Structure 1
Amino acid sequence: MGVLQPSSDDKELMKLVENHFISSDNAVLLAFRVAKSQASSWPGHRRQRLTTKMRILTLTAKRSSTTQKFKVKLQVLKQLANNELEMAKAYKLKHLSRVEAVPSDNSGCTFVLAFDNLKSQTVAPPQWTMRSLDDRNRLVTCILKLCKENLGRLPKIVGMDVVEMALWAQANAKALPIDSPVQPALQCIGEGGKTSAVTVEREMVSKAEEDDMEALLGTYVLGIDEAEAFSERLKRELTALEAANVHAILESEPLVEEVLQQLDAATVSVEDMDEWLGIFNVKLTHMREDIESIESRNNRLEMQAQNNAALVEELNKLLGRLRVPPEYTSLLTTGAFEEACMPQNVEACEWLAQSLRGLEPPFLDPVYVNMRAVKDKRAELEKLKAAFVRRASDFLKTYFSKLVDFMISDKSYFSQKGQLKRPDHADLRFKCRSYARLLQHLKNLDKNSLGPLRKAYCSSINLLLRREAREFANELRASTKVTRSSGAWSLEGSGGSSLSSGTDTSNVSDAYAKMLRIFIPLLVDESSFFASFMCFEVLPLVPPGPGADNGEDDDDEDDDDISPLDENAADLKPAQQNPEELEALNQSLQDLLTGIEEDFYAVVDWAYKIDPLRCISMMGVTERYLSSHKADAASFVRRLLADLQSRISMQFNRFVEEANLQIEKHDRSIKQIGVLSYIQRFAYLAQRMESLIQGNSREVVDNAYKKLVETMFAVLERIALVDPKYQDVLLLENYAAFQNCMFDLANVVPTLGHYYQHASEAYEQACTRYVNTVINYQFERLFQFFQRVENLLYTISPEEVPYQINFSKAEMRKTVNTSLKGVEKALRDMYRRMQKQLTSEELLPSLWEKLKEDFLDKYESLEGLILKCYPTESITPSSDDMKELFTSI
């Protein structure tokens, strides 16, 4: 079959279609003129007819910008009268599910394309009729190729000969417009326009598929359809082949005999060769044994020589380790410990430590450990070590004691009369620092030797610290000039005059803060120096950071660089905290600083005696120091601050208890009128306490407020019960006074705000009871009568009330006339009664206003009740007239 060439009509159609799609991104692959026939029905009849329309079937492709895959569409165009094209329908090739030939068309040019995304599957799909079978094959083959290459699947083919189409595709491969699948066509699309040139690079049918197809077609051409004839043919061919093989074998017999003769001769030669090889093998075996014997003797001699040389070298090294230099022996046994001799002593210690370590595995081979010479030398070194450690320990104990005794004997080191002196241990630490390396080497030589040294150092320094704290505290109290407070809480006198004398006791808390500011950093520095000086393997007691957190100065001379040494005499700083060492350090610090807390307690007790309220500011100062030393590893300083906090809190609680006791013992034998004295005193006390609050002392002060105010209210209620007649007057006046005194503080102190609210509620209740008492004193009979009427309405109707005993109209008129006779004078009497009973004139207007409101409410209710139960009666004066009467008073 020849190559199919496109006709001129096809070229014109292609150009027309390309011009139609020139403004879009679609590349035109194929274009055919087809006849579209759609099955339809006549209206009102069952007979069907086919409507045929001419259309242009176009296959286009477009690359997706996101997935970089091709979107292939089958687009149906119709040609208008002006030769322009219009889009009629577009189908996506990915939804194509079936290609089915129409059986009624014998030419095979009519087929149906079924898509699985059509909205209505009940309507028969359109039938497409191509102009020729070649056009049909071109379209269908191209569609199958696109589905296979681009979608990875093929639609179902029904009624078409697939083999015939494959043969057609093989014969017309160059005429196919698509390959791999539309890449060459799309590459030719420019920015300004597009072209339909398509280059074929690869055949539609692969080589393997072509070979299988040719084999199948060859089998088909052979016409193997009669099995018996084919079997007979194979049998005849087999018989002919066997006869030819037998004939060939008979013709080659002379050659075979000649080969056998040559093989026999070769066998004889091989046997002779094997015998000679056996003889040579025996000789070689004996020779190999002799060589191995010689090599073995030579190797043993060489090894012995090497071992002897290595042994001599090792023995020389061992002798070098076992030699003790005489200068070191002299230093370790009789050398002096003056400061000038310390470098030589440190050098001797380093040599002794290295020598002892060099006699132990892994520095010394375990083979030599049990040698007599090594044992003797180790014993000699141990004696040297014991002698040196004993001598050094005795010297340091004596040195520490003499150094402290010298400082204690010199009064210029301590505070004197008229002069506060800050303790300065710079010279002491400088002198101790000269022996820091010696202590570190003592620890490396004998760790247990540091225990007695630490105790001796702690005992000596403790005497110095206690003396310094005692002298400083005594002079601090003597130099602080303050006037003793007349009492932070006193019931003497009237009002708050005894408390507001203007005495300034701030020097008391300043003195306590100065004590902490001087000695707490000193104790921390002493703890840190002691930990480093005495070689405790702990992290630094004071974290790195600014040294003047709480006002203490940063001393450059106290920046001790004393680090523990490792076995090689190198600085060794622990990477993490050692719990055992830290516990031992805290026990030693207890011995170092014990007893010093008594002088702090003395300052606290002295400050309490001058002004108990200064405990509040001292608690704040102590809390600030305590929070700044929470990260320190030395627990004694934290424990000291915690004990001070506890003692100050105990003293403050003692003051609160005394004040509380004075409130409880308030004199009840005398008739109490007006505002009780402790109300104003508590207001002054609260103002002072608020002015002294610092840090976390808020909770302590709030607890004091709670205890005092609850006792005040309880005593007030108890005193009010003594005279029931004036009970409510006393309560409302005192609760009002408490509110007036606490108004400003209650807005900023939640605890006082709570009690302010409680006082406000109690005041309202007392006012209500007092107002009712005053009203009932004048109009009790009137309101009681109508109260009984109101109770009667729970059981009977209002119309039946006038017919009840004691509730007739005459009884009602009698009660009203009697009670309201001279009502204006009764109202004036109520006002004068309140004016007489109240000692606080500022409360009278508000109470009278409340009485007016309550009375008018009751009177209006009474008027309504009369209108309800006694409709024919009226009350004089009316509620409006009563309001006018109140206004005139």
Structure 2
Amino acid sequence: MTAIKHALQRDIFTPNDERLLSIVNVCKAGKKKRNCFLCATVTTERPVQVRVVKVKKSDKGDFYKRQMAWELRDLAEVDAKDASKENPEFDLHFEKVYRWVASSTAEKNSFISCIWKLNQRYLRKKVEFVNVSSQLLEESVPSGESQSVAGGDEDALDDYQELNAREEQDIEGMMEVCEYAISNAEAFAEKLSRELQVLDGANIHSIMASEKQVNILMQLLDEALSEVDTIEGKMSSYEEMLQSVKEQMDQISQSNRLIQISNTNNSKLLDEIQFLVNYMDLSKGHIRALQEGDLSSSKGIEACINASEALLQCMNVALRPGHEKLMAVKQQQHLFTELRDTFARRLTNHLNNVFVHQGHDQSSMLSQHMAELTLPKHNPLHRDLLRYAKLMEWLKNTQREKYEGLSRTYVDYMTRLYEREIKDFFEVAKIKMAGTAKDGKGNKFGLHGSSGKLTGSTSSLNKLAVQGSSSRRSQSSSLLDMGNMSASDLDVADRTKFDKIFEQVLSELEPLCLAEQDFISKFFKLQQHPTLVQGEVEESDGGQPPPGEYRHFIQSTEKDMVRLMMNKVFQSIETELNSLIALGDKIDSFNSLYMLVKMSHHVWTAENVDPASYLSTTLGNVLVTVKRNFDKCISGQIRQMEEVKISKKSKVGILPFVAGFEEFAELAETIFRNAERRGDLDKAYVKLIRAVFMNVEKVANESQKTPRDVVMMENFHHIFSTLSHLKISCLETERREAKHKYTDHLRSYVINSLGQPLEKLNHFFEGVEARVAQGVREDEVSYQLAFNKQELRKVIKEYPGKEVKKGLDNLYKKVDKHLCEEESLLQVVWHSMQDEFIGQYKHFEGLIGRCYPGSEITMEFTIGDMLEYFSSIAQSH
């Protein structure tokens, strides 16, 4: 164990400036025995730190390593398990309990004894030792290895005292004088002892020689004591004199303090009087202005404003504690209250008269605007009233009830005035708007617009189709309204006039509302911060609302109050706008396009100025109605497409709603150019074009006179041309689809029509291909009875060049009857038939070559003949 101790001291603790005092070989209780060492150590530096360190061998077993360490001050309890019997088990209670089994009871006892000594010496907080023999704690551990480790080294540590620097220098000097100080320590010690004896004798002789001097010193001390007594007597007399002076000075100081207090009181009293005079005195000029000031002249209004502000300052002055009890202060406050009430009554009566007077002047101007589509301007009224804005603010701060009464009076008066003006204004607008629906004879059309259903006769439908296809109208022409009115009934000029009227209405309303809202905000001093309701008091200095009944705060802002006043004043605008919009929609449902664009632009403009303004909110509500009418217009067009009826006796041609969609798109693109609501038009386009596609197929399936392929080909060609011309980006997919449908049905029509001029020859070769498909070899088809060479020659002879040309001529006439003139697809179809016919001819020749080899059978006409036939037939017609 000694060798292990020295190895641990050398390898682990010496590098860490620690000394190993006790060691015990242990293993954990209840587990596989993996031995380790618990070491009790102290640091060599002060303050001394005591630790319990767990050390174990490395996995390779060639050196020891430090695994864990605990401070002894963290040890709460040492449990030895049994104090009367030998038991190697013990527990150490740190932050948790560690259970150990020592290799021997002696090692355990030695380690616990060392822990007890270290605890007694270094720790204030004593560790609790449980189940430990009192003899083990009071007596030293038996002699042996553990005793020397636990006790000897610690005692040596206690007896050792470090030399200071001066002592080290003295010892080094003595050792340098004595040459053998290092080699013969005993001789050096004897020499030092002799020198010490010599020094002691010299000290004794020196003390004996100085006895006389000591007696002289004692005599001098006695004389000094007598002088001290004399000085103390003088100091006592001086102290008595100073005490008398102190009493006199205290009396003088008390007198001065009373004088100073009197001066301070007089100064404070003067300050209070000056404060009251300066802040609670209203000049006679201000009093006269409040009582008699002229509220009709600019000079008088300015004097009243200055006087009212001075009065408000006097009433709102923050009185100091006790001022309210002074009679003069009470009298001044009573005077201020009377002046406030008197001036408030005068101001309220005068402003009421101003409202009435200005109202009569404004009403007299209404007749000037009756014949014109303009609204009277209220700038003079606003300018005159704004002179009283500061007085209104004073009234708001002092007499809230009168202020609110004036605001109600103004709102009531302006409501009646604006209601008359707006009603007359919209009547003029409706008259002008209804005038756009008159015909050349001056008679009004029925106000059904394009909302009428397509229930006209077959001739009317044909007429519409011919008009829409033969003479394509520009944007200056009207839309095909697809109703009871003809296409010329509604002219683009009328719609342009309607657009100008609607724009004029919005342009007149916008500055009117903005000017009135700005005036109300300035005149009534309504900003966007929260306010107190009538009867409430201001918040306390701490920023918290006052307690009790005054703690109720209004929830709305003054901006909401402005909006409420505007809603009352202009309560008829939204109704009149909706009525005007309904009239425009009744005249022509396509007017909703103009209204949607104009209304959207004005809403966007109003929101940029003030998103929460009355104008923005009202126009936004009306915009919802306009958008609803626009959607209804689109739905009406789709419904009319679904209800269209086609004559059974005439060819179809370009369907009315196909031509109508073209003109709708041309007009819409003109209206919605650079518009904010372009997205709404794109959605409408998609709905309309899908309805057009669906109903074209529906009409094509129901058509009896015109082949289905012709109806599909012509109408989808027209749709493709329209979309290619307009270049509507959101309909690019539909444009490609229309082209695909057009080409598919063109090919289908050509293939189905070409079988008729060479009908028997087509049937013959279809039979030949059927035999080949059934497994008959191509060179053996000629051996079939129904398809031998003689039958082939017989069929070919039935189609000489003259007969073929005649058949093609009949085919051209038939195609000409099927196709309409407006699309000009006859030559396209004829050229496609030529290509298809040549392809069939080459196919027939190929079958003859493969199935009838060596027969030298050929057609009665050549490809060159065919080209000449097609060309001559096209030119002759």
**Pairing 1:470-619 to 2, within 5 Å after superposition:** 470-475=423-428, 482=436, 484=438, 492=460, 493-494=463-464, 495-496=467-468, 498-499=486-487, 504-505=493-494, 506-538=496-528, 580-601=557-578, 603-605=580-582, 607-608=584-585, 612-619=589-596
Cα separation, 1, equivalents of 2:790 and 2:412: 100
- Contact 2:344 2:399 (8 Å CA) reproduced: yes
Cα separation, 1, equivalents of 2:837 and 2:596: 55
Deviation for aligned residue 1:580: 1.0
Matched residue SS, 1:630: helix
Please, which runs of 5 or more residues in structure 2 have no aligned partner? 1-172, 440-444, 472-485, 530-554, 870-877
**Aligned residue in 2 for 1:839:** 819
**Aligned residue in 1 for 2:213:** 255
- Encode CA deviations 1:788-842: one digit per residue, 9 max, x unaligned: 965x7xxxxxxxx3499xx988559739986893395797647844651432474
- Contact 1:224 1:230 (8 Å CA) reproduced: no
Assess, with a 3 A threshold, how the Cα gap between structure 1 residues 316 and 740 changes in structure 2: closer, same or farther. Answer: closer
1:679 aligns with 2:632: no
Deviation for aligned residue 1:677: 3.0
Assess, with a 3 A threshold, how the Cα gap between structure 1 residues 881 and 286 changes in structure 2: closer, same or farther. Answer: farther
Cα separation, 1, equivalents of 2:788 and 2:224: 167
**Pairing 1:817-832 to 2, within 5 Å after superposition:** 821-822=795-796, 829=807, 832=810
Matched residue SS, 1:228: coil
Deviation for aligned residue 1:343: 3.1
Deviation for aligned residue 1:583: 1.3
Assess, with a 3 A threshold, how the Cα gap between structure 1 residues 700 and 832 changes in structure 2: closer, same or farther. Answer: farther
State which of 588, 593, 598 in structure 2 corresponds to 1:621. 598
**Aligned residue in 2 for 1:707:** 687
**Aligned residue in 2 for 1:814:** 787
Cα separation, 1, equivalents of 2:186 and 2:786: 147
Assess, with a 3 A threshold, how the Cα gap between structure 1 residues 872 and 474 changes in structure 2: closer, same or farther. Answer: closer
Assess, with a 3 A threshold, how the Cα gap between structure 1 residues 277 and 734 changes in structure 2: closer, same or farther. Answer: same
**Aligned residue in 2 for 1:750:** 729
Assess, with a 3 A threshold, how the Cα gap between structure 1 residues 815 and 482 changes in structure 2: closer, same or farther. Answer: farther
**Aligned residue in 2 for 1:400:** 355
Deviation for aligned residue 1:523: 2.1
- Contact 1:389 1:442 (8 Å CA) reproduced: yes
Cα separation, 2, equivalents of 1:277 and 1:878: 168
**Pairing 1:186-335 to 2, within 5 Å after superposition:** 227-229=182-184, 232=187, 236=191, 239-240=194-195, 243=198, 246-247=201-202, 250-251=205-206, 252-253=209-210, 254-274=212-232, 277=235, 280-281=238-239, 284-285=242-243, 287-288=245-246, 291-292=249-250, 294-315=252-273, 317-318=275-276, 328=286, 331-332=289-290
**Aligned residue in 2 for 1:148:** none
- Contact 1:400 1:457 (8 Å CA) reproduced: yes
- Encode CA deviations 1:112-162: one digit per residue, 9 max, x unaligned: xxxxxxxxxxxxxxxxxxxxxxxxxxxxxxxxxxxxxxxxxxxxxxxxxxx
1:415 aligns with 2:369: yes
Deviation for aligned residue 1:444: 2.8
Assess, with a 3 A threshold, how the Cα gap between structure 1 residues 398 and 241 changes in structure 2: closer, same or farther. Answer: same
Deviation for aligned residue 1:395: 2.8
Matched residue SS, 2:645: coil
Amino acid across the alignment from 1:701: L
Amino acid across the alignment from 1:535: K
Deviation for aligned residue 1:737: 2.7
Deviation for aligned residue 1:582: 1.2
- Contact 1:856 1:883 (8 Å CA) reproduced: yes
State which of 643, 650, 654 in structure 2 corresponds to 1:665. 643
Matched residue SS, 1:227: coil
- Encode CA deviations 1:741-761: one digit per residue, 9 max, x unaligned: 44311x2x1234443222212
Amino acid across the alignment from 1:843: L
Assess, with a 3 A threshold, how the Cα gap between structure 1 residues 769 and 758 changes in structure 2: closer, same or farther. Answer: same
Matched residue SS, 1:338: coil
Assess, with a 3 A threshold, how the Cα gap between structure 1 residues 888 and 510 changes in structure 2: closer, same or farther. Answer: same
- Contact 2:175 2:181 (8 Å CA) reproduced: no
Deviation for aligned residue 1:353: 0.4
Amino acid across the alignment from 1:587: L
Assess, with a 3 A threshold, how the Cα gap between structure 1 residues 409 and 244 changes in structure 2: closer, same or farther. Answer: same
Cα separation, 1, equivalents of 2:385 and 2:789: 105
Cα separation, 1, equivalents of 2:202 and 2:316: 100
Cα separation, 2, equivalents of 1:755 and 1:853: 28
Deviation for aligned residue 1:532: 0.8
Higher mean C-alpha deviation, range 704-713 or range 815-824: 815-824
Matched residue SS, 2:395: helix
1:429 aligns with 2:402: no
Assess, with a 3 A threshold, how the Cα gap between structure 1 residues 880 and 325 changes in structure 2: closer, same or farther. Answer: farther
**Pairing 1:722-737 to 2, within 5 Å after superposition:** 722-723=702-703, 726-737=707-718
Assess, with a 3 A threshold, how the Cα gap between structure 1 residues 602 and 723 changes in structure 2: closer, same or farther. Answer: closer
1:438 aligns with 2:391: yes
Cα separation, 2, equivalents of 1:322 and 1:723: 100
- Contact 1:824 1:885 (8 Å CA) reproduced: no
Deviation for aligned residue 1:510: 1.8
Cα separation, 2, equivalents of 1:247 and 1:614: 138
Cα separation, 2, equivalents of 1:816 and 1:257: 180
**Aligned residue in 2 for 1:691:** 670
Cα separation, 2, equivalents of 1:279 and 1:422: 110
- Contact 2:638 2:691 (8 Å CA) reproduced: yes
- Contact 1:512 1:618 (8 Å CA) reproduced: yes
Assess, with a 3 A threshold, how the Cα gap between structure 1 residues 809 and 257 changes in structure 2: closer, same or farther. Answer: farther
1:719 aligns with 2:699: yes
**Pairing 1:861-872 to 2, within 5 Å after superposition:** none
Cα separation, 2, equivalents of 1:782 and 1:624: 69
Deviation for aligned residue 1:638: 1.2
Matched residue SS, 2:369: coil
Deviation for aligned residue 1:380: 4.9
Matched residue SS, 2:607: coil
Cα separation, 1, equivalents of 2:687 and 2:500: 28
- Contact 1:782 1:816 (8 Å CA) reproduced: no
- Contact 2:178 2:188 (8 Å CA) reproduced: no
Cα separation, 2, equivalents of 1:877 and 1:365: 134
Assess, with a 3 A threshold, how the Cα gap between structure 1 residues 817 and 643 changes in structure 2: closer, same or farther. Answer: farther
Matched residue SS, 1:504: helix
CA RMSD of aligned residues (A): 4.6
**Aligned residue in 1 for 2:333:** 378
TM-score if structure 1 supplies the norm length? 0.59
Aligned residues: 613
Matched residue SS, 1:590: helix
Deviation for aligned residue 1:303: 0.6
**Aligned residue in 1 for 2:170:** none
Please, which runs of 5 or more residues in structure 1 have no aligned partner? 1-217, 540-577, 793-800
Assess, with a 3 A threshold, how the Cα gap between structure 1 residues 526 and 876 changes in structure 2: closer, same or farther. Answer: farther
